[in-house]
Amino acid sequence: MHLLSDLLGRPAAAIDTPALVIDLDAMERNLERMAAFAAQHGVMLRPHAKMHKSATLAKLQMARGAVGVCVQKTSEAEALAALGVNNIYISNEVVSPFKLKRVVALARELQALGGQLAIAVDSLEGLRRLAQAAHGQHAALRVFIEIDVGHGRCGLAPGAPAVALANEMARHPALQFGGLQAYHGRAQHLRTVAERQAAIAQVITHVQTTRAALQAAGHAVPLVTGAGTGTFALETASGVYGELQAGSYLFMDRDYADNERDPAQPPFEHALFVKSQVMSVCASHAVVDAGHKSHAIDSGLPTVHGLALDYANGGDEHGILRGAVLPALGDTVWLIPGHCDPTVNLHEHLLGVRGGLESGTVEQIIRVDARGALT
């Protein structure tokens, strides 16, 4: 990146390609709509920062009412904490003793700053390792028990199994039972509202069963946390969830936009784009300079913004455009990524443009602080 800061105040046309660009106006509307939803429904918002990996954006969300952020990795938490984000929940299991030492050290740091670190567990062994790491370290951790509410990944089976973990947790004064982590990732991407309603109805049953088992064993359940951009209105409506973890609403990718919109959710706009450029044209197609090293394709290919062109994967560094009217060599083509989280992770910076993609001005350069933070 040559003299990236020289771009500040310049027209968006000066951004060389490929580059990841935020439409700041659209992003701020998304931010406001989600903040208003949470306020109106009396539910806490803890957006997932695995999406943007940026302390600047985490703080922007917290300034608009978010109680903190989620991350998936210890190193993500460290990267954001180092830049002043002081309320972080690792909504994921950490079992490596080496990493658990880091988790405990970070908990102590955030505590000293008036903040807090939380983490998820889904096994007695994992819980014991965490307790061992925290023992005698003067660190307090809020710990959520993860249950598998249908996603089929991490998490205990719903119901009684959580009781043994809550019992064990009660033996360790450094660990405070935070409640239940209950996230159904696959439900986010079910296309129709009816399918998502059915999936989340099942989720709610699993949460209620588990909560009842814990309560019967004498454990109050302070909070249920979960939900994503595809379903959060449903979890909210259930009255069971106290905290929403949606992250993608801020940028809104192609995959989420493919969902039939639930009228109970605010409308979100695409705010994240890969700016690309036509580098080759022939009779049948044009080639842009953005391939799957510029945007993730795990949730499908990007779409082309504002033009009747189909994007086909052209490999690491190329995209192939087909359509009745092909763009010319050197033309700018804006792509809407299939999945924002792993797309952001491919870039060093997000370039914030104000006043529209084509005619706007570069107002902000946002570092992807936790890019590549895998451990």
Q: Which residues bind a second copy (CB under 8 A)?
A: 1-2, 16-19, 50, 72-73, 75, 92-96, 98-99, 102, 122-123, 125-126, 148, 152-157, 185, 277-282, 284-285, 287, 290, 292-294, 296-298, 313-318, 320, 329-330, 341-342, 345-348, 371-372, 374-375
Nearer to a second copy, 16 or 32 (CB): 16
Nearer to a second copy, 61 or 294 (CB): 294
CB of 49 to a second copy, least distance (A): 12
CB of 220 to a second copy, least distance (A): 25
| Other residues' Cβ atoms within 10 Å of the Cβ of residue 281 | 16
CB of 161 to a second copy, least distance (A): 10
Q: Which amino acid is at 343?
A: T
Contact 317, 293 (CB under 8 A): yes
Neighbouring residues of 84: CB distance < 8 A, sequence distance ≥ 6: 55, 59
Nearer to a second copy, 41 or 151 (CB): 151
Token pair 């008036």 is found at 114
User: What distance in Å separates the CA atoms of residue 350 and residue 22, rounded to the nearest whole number?
Assistant: 6
Beta-sheet pairing, 286-288 with 319-322: antiparallel
Nearer to a second copy, 5 or 316 (CB): 316
CB of 165 to a second copy, least distance (A): 13
Q: What totals of helices (H) and strands (E) does the chain contain, helices first? A: 10, 17
Nearer to a second copy, 19 or 252 (CB): 19
User: What distance in Å separates the CA atoms of residue 73 and residue 91, rounded to the nearest whole number?
Assistant: 8
Concatenating the DSSP letter of every residue in 51-89 gives TT--HHHHHHHHHTT---EEESSHHHHHHHHTTT--EEE
CB of 334 to a second copy, least distance (A): 15
Nearer to a second copy, 92 or 229 (CB): 92
User: What distance in Å separates the CA atoms of residue 341 and residue 247, rounded to the nearest whole number?
Assistant: 9
Token pair 């993608």 is found at 248
User: What distance in Å separates the CA atoms of residue 318 and residue 334, rounded to the nearest whole number?
Assistant: 14
CB of 294 to a second copy, least distance (A): 6
Nearer to a second copy, 282 or 325 (CB): 282
Nearer to a second copy, 254 or 347 (CB): 347
User: What distance in Å separates the CA atoms of residue 172 and residue 371, rounded to the nearest whole number?
Assistant: 34
CB of 280 to a second copy, least distance (A): 4
C-alpha closest to that of 86 among 116, 119, 45, 120: 116
CB of 298 to a second copy, least distance (A): 5
Q: How many CA atoms lie within 13 A of 118 on its CB side?
A: 24
